[in-house]
Amino acid sequence: MNIANAASVRPRAVTVAIGATIIGQSEAVDALVLALIAGGHVLLEGAPGVAKTLACRALSAAIGGSFKRIQFTPDLLPSDIVGTRIFDQRSGDFATVRGPIFANIVLADEINRAPAKVQSALLEGMQEHRATIGLDTYDFPAPFAVLATMNPLDGDGTYALPLAQLDRFLAKVVVGYPSLAEETEIVARYGAHDVEFRSDVAGPDDVLAWQREARTVFLDDRVRDYIVALVRATRGARYVEHGASPRAALALAAMARARAYLEERRFVTPDDVRDLAPSVLRHRLAFDYRAAADAVDTQAIVGEIVASVPAP
Amino acid sequence: MRRGVAAFLGVLALGAFGDVARAQGLPRLHVLAIDQYADQLTVAPHEQFHVTIRVVVAERRERLDELVLGDLDNCSIVGDERLHAPLPKGMEFTERLTLEADAPGTATITPAYLDAINPSVGRGLRYSAKQVIRVRVTAAAPIDATFRTFVALLRTLLLVGAAIVAALIVLVVFLLFAKRRVRSSAPAAVAAVEIPTARPPSREIQLADAVRRYRSSRNQEALLRLRGLLFECAGADHGATLADALRRLGAGDASLRFALSAAERAAFGPAGERERAGDELLSALEAYSGRLAAKPPV
């Protein structure tokens, strides 16, 4: 069931390339590739040292194009991200200097360490795929994807991302610790050698082709209704103060299409939706005080909500 | 009546003591009654008993020192208690003697008396209780009052127990009789009849029917019914996904796995692919039905 397309390489090749560098973390790797196909951004949350940044670098290396990394700190300014205009003494005029956000893949490392003003500058670009410097507006290169990481363990010196900003991320992946076998292999492989990336497995044009073709994947009405039912089930669920927005339904449909495309199917199945629902919904829910008082696992709540909706 | 008794006593005493009374300056009293009695008539030696002397006079006075006790034989006074109480017309004097029997035989207390001038006749008279009290003093110990009470209580208890036993016997007899009557009058029990229930068709029959319907009309309703039956064959519940069904099936029937996958494509695939997926589904089901038919009946 091959899909005739203009891309010279299949997206599975990128997954394989990242998997050659990253040992384990298959969910994070798949989410990065799916979000790239769906044209969205990914938020990776995990403890330090679980290969969040490495996975992002491996992805950018695999698809080629430009890659920029921004280390978010409390003293970061919006101009440090977007860019600014400086006076050129030789020409006697102001020149525009574009910031690191002008890249195909932008790694926003520890995004919750910057204040809301800086986060807003980034998130505006995530939504519009363009930025305004001075009086001029500049488009970002295509494809464009922000891969953000955040550390849940350090509470000091961090700024919580508002729900409206979290909603801009297509998916949030919780990166856990590797298994015993994976960790042993990590030490064996990288204990005495530098990490190597597989570069240019695909190109930016391939990614754009994937994005176009993924949007043509068939979504049956019953699967569409299943997506809507899942999103609506988050509203009014126990421990949930604010449920997911219609943007979540759009994101879930896009991710499901991307997965079908990655698996070289022309249609979305209920399994695509159900498997991706936690990563699409988990960061879009606001939990009430009872969740904190009862110390419930919010990930488990999302799982319960998904399980409560019967598949078609 | 009291007046009559007093007059009678006065007549008896008048002749014998008339001169003496006048000589000694007797009190002027209307003696209405005088009598005495004992609380026990049989006692043991050294056992105490009581003799009560009662005098009723018409005059209101606090003391009656003129009362003379009778003679005591074979008993002695242990205690003496005097009481008086006003009456609507006069006063009642009560003297209670506590006596103790001396020796076996008979203890005798002669009547107490009172000498007084009867104002009605103006002469002195002796008013006597008349009764001579004789108390038998037995050698053997008499039945103790407590023992007598105990015996009476025991007798009462025996009577009550006998009454209860009799009532229970009557009740048991009545119940047995009533039960026999009910048993004899109850209608004969209706034998339980097992109502044959319609047994649901087997899954194979349902599946064959669903295949026939889908083959005749390839619409979504027939497809979904067929897909649901295939999920049931794989052991998946309602609301499960293909992954659930395949997971439940494990490495089971390959033809069923293929049929499930074909049904998924026919159900959710694009319109252009559904016809081909339907063909694959039917061919897979033929293989699966053949395997089912080849299975020996359980």
State the Cα–Cα distance between residues A113 and A150, nearest whole angstrom. 8
Which residue of chain B comes nearest to A260, CA vs CA? Answer: B269
pLDDT in tens, B207-241: 888 888 888 888 888 888 888 888 988 888 888 89
Q: Are the beta carbons of A269 and B270 separated by less than 8 Å?
A: no
Higher pLDDT, A116 or A40: A40
What DSSP assignment string belongs to chain A?
-PPP-S-SS-THHHHHHHHHHS-S-HHHHHHHHHHHHHT--EEEEE-TTSSHHHHHHHHHHHH-S-EEEEE--TT--HHHHHEEEEEETTTTEEEEEE-TTSSSEEEEETGGGS-HHHHHHHHHHHHHSEEEETTEEEEPPSS-EEEEEE-SS--TT--PPPHHHHTTSSEEEEE----HHHHHHHHHHHSSS-------SS-HHHHHHHHHHHTTSB--HHHHHHHHHHHHHTTT-TTEEE---HHHHHHHHHHHHHHHHHTT-SB--HHHHHHHHHHHHGGG-EE-HHHHHTT--HHHHHHHHHHHSPP-
Q: Are the beta carbons of B243 and A271 separated by less than 8 Å?
A: yes
pLDDT in tens, B244-265: 888 888 877 788 888 898 999 8
Give the SS3 label for residue B65: coil
Q: Are the beta carbons of B268 and A268 separated by less than 8 Å?
A: yes
Give the SS3 label for residue B229: helix
Q: Which among B240, B264, B270 has CB closest to A269? A: B264
| pTM metric for this prediction | 0.64
- Per-residue pLDDT at A223 exceeds 50: yes
Mutate to test the interface with A, among B220, B241, B244 (most CBs of A within 10 A): B241
Nearest chain B CA: its distance from A181 CA (Å): 25
Higher pLDDT, B165 or A155: B165
pLDDT in tens, B115-152: 888 888 888 888 998 888 999 998 765 556 677 788 88
Nearest chain A CA: its distance from B249 CA (Å): 16
**Amino acid B13: pLDDT:** 46
State the Cα–Cα distance between residues A137 and A123, nearest whole angstrom. 16
Instruction: Return the percent helix, strand and coil in chain B, to nearest 5.
Output: 45, 25, 30
- Closest by CA to B21, choosing from B118, B110, B91, is B118
Segment A91-117 shows an average pLDDT of 89
Query: What is the ipTM metric for this complex?
Result: 0.77
Chain B residues in contact with A275 by the CB 8 A cut-off are 243
**Amino acid B16: pLDDT:** 46
pLDDT in tens, B172-213: 988 888 777 655 555 555 555 566 666 666 777 888 888 888
Nearest chain B CA: its distance from A276 CA (Å): 13
Task: For residue B31, report the phi and psi dihedrals to the nearest 5 degrees.
Answer: -80, 115
B293 pLDDT band, cuts 50/70/90, is: low
Nearest chain B CA: its distance from A311 CA (Å): 5
Chain B residues in contact with A218 by the CB 8 A cut-off are 268-270
Say whether residue A266 is in contact with chain B using an 8 A CB cutoff. Answer: yes
Q: Are the beta carbons of A266 and B273 separated by less than 8 Å?
A: yes
Task: For residue A167, report the phi and psi dihedrals to the nearest 5 degrees.
Answer: -65, -20
CA angle A48, A53, A56 (to 5 degrees): 150
Nearest chain B CA: its distance from A35 CA (Å): 22
Return the structure tokens found at B176: 């047995």
- Per-residue pLDDT at B297 exceeds 80: no
Chain B residues in contact with A309 by the CB 8 A cut-off are 239
Going through chain B in order, the beta strands assigned E by DSSP cover 31-38, 42-43, 48-57, 67-68, 72-73, 75-87, 90-101, 105-109, 113-118, 123-128, 133-137
Percentage of chain A lying above the pLDDT 70 cut: 96
- Per-residue pLDDT at B1 exceeds 70: no
**Amino acid B248: pLDDT:** 86
A214 pLDDT band, cuts 50/70/90, is: very high
Segment A4-14 shows an average pLDDT of 75
Nearest chain B CA: its distance from A22 CA (Å): 27
Segment B29-40 shows an average pLDDT of 89
pLDDT in tens, B68-116: 988 999 999 988 888 888 887 788 999 999 999 998 889 999 999 988 8
What's the start-to-end Cα distance of chain A, in Å? 23
**Amino acid A3: pLDDT:** 46
CA angle A94, A100, A106 (to 5 degrees): 155
Higher pLDDT, B135 or B6: B135
**Residues in B lying within 8 Å of A, measured between beta carbons:** 238-243, 264-265, 267-270, 273
Which residue of chain B comes nearest to A268, CA vs CA? Answer: B268
**Amino acid A246: pLDDT:** 93
**Amino acid B7: pLDDT:** 46
Chain A residues in contact with B238 by the CB 8 A cut-off are 310
pLDDT in tens, A235-256: 988 889 889 999 999 999 999 9
**Amino acid A303: pLDDT:** 92
